[in-house]
Amino acid sequence: MGREHTPRELLGRAVATVRTEGVLELVHRSVPYLRRRRNRLWKQLLARMGGVPAARAYLRARRWVRPASITDADPFARLWIDPARIDTQVRTTSKRWGRVVDGDWDRAVVPFDETSAYRSVVAHFQQGTPWSETAEFEQYRDRLEAGEQPKGCTTEDELAARFEELDAIYDRIATDGYRSQPELWADRPEYQRTVFYKWDRTIDPRLDEVTVSIGRDGQVLHSDRGDHRLAIAKLLECRTVPVLVRRRHTYWQSIRAEIAAATRPSDLTARARRHLEHPDVRDLHEFELSATEIETAAASGDSSPAAVVDEEEIT
């Protein structure tokens, strides 16, 4: 991780930029930095005002006003999922918690093993490719040369340090297994706090897990965070990893509601019965179906009106 620059160092960089590239270039480069500083201060304020409990209260109030747009599930509850199950990445990410969204966003996906993050992790750890020669590093290098500050980095050395952290993460997971952020926080709170405030992760560093969205048929889609950790977990064949759900499809949310309301399996439609073992609904019921019943539900169609999906995007 690149260290924080002192005010004196920042001033020196600013002066050097003005001398060599002009005031306009300084303004162009300062905007991302100032935006990150603003976001960091805002998140620190949120954390001190209540963090996760405050966010939960806000989402409960929002659900009361707009129940169709906010899930009934605890948006900060972790699901432990087999990383092999997360085989696609959604193209349109969601950075908001607890959202329920209609439309075709869950069909605009790319295979996870085709992402630059996954390919770079495989190249480095399985083929011995230096980070600086991986596809993802080259993409970030191009952004640096274009005047951007990817991953909060302003130099290639800082970018290299960010990637080198992945070596330690790989070794830790290989040795200790995959651990949740609260577990890591308990071990090294000062370090975790530093990481959190430097890289502006979220309202609480303990929420910096792999994030996912859940599509209309229960597909678990990688979302906007933790792509390298997920790739490493796949390479190391971890049995499960903790994930946080950012967004659920409206149709999937209706399946959750149906299962939560049922008092016996016969109350459920075929579409709901085939998802009873899904990690996102397993705590909503105590039904036990035989393997034959589950196979029958999975193979059957469902012609009930509730199975018809409205394809119109919500704006």
Cα-Cα-Cα-Cα torsion 84, 75, 276, 83, nearest 10 degrees, comes to: 10
- Predicted confidence at residue 59, as pLDDT, reads 87
Strands 210-214 and 220-222: antiparallel
pLDDT tens, residue order, the chain (315 aa): 444 566 677 777 778 877 888 888 777 777 777 776 666 666 666 555 567 888 888 889 989 999 999 999 999 999 999 999 999 999 998 878 999 999 999 999 999 999 999 999 999 999 999 999 999 999 999 998 888 878 778 889 989 999 999 999 999 999 999 999 889 888 876 665 665 554 445 567 778 899 999 999 999 999 988 999 999 999 999 999 999 999 999 999 999 999 999 999 999 999 999 999 999 999 999 987 665 665 665 565 553 333 333 322 322
Q: Maximum CA pair distance of the chain?
A: 75
- Predicted confidence at residue 224, as pLDDT, reads 85
Count CB neighbours of 251 within 10 A.
20
- Predicted confidence at residue 209, as pLDDT, reads 92
Cα-Cα-Cα-Cα torsion 279, 249, 270, 288, nearest 10 degrees, comes to: 20
What pTM does this model have? 0.77
Q: In whole angstroms, give the CA distance from residue 307 to residue 260.
A: 17
- Predicted confidence at residue 47, as pLDDT, reads 58
State whether residue 95 is helix, strand or coil.
coil
- Predicted confidence at residue 2, as pLDDT, reads 42
Strands 241-249 and 79-81: antiparallel
Residue-by-residue DSSP string for 255-269: HHHHHHH-SSGGGS-
Count CB neighbours of 257 within 10 A.
15
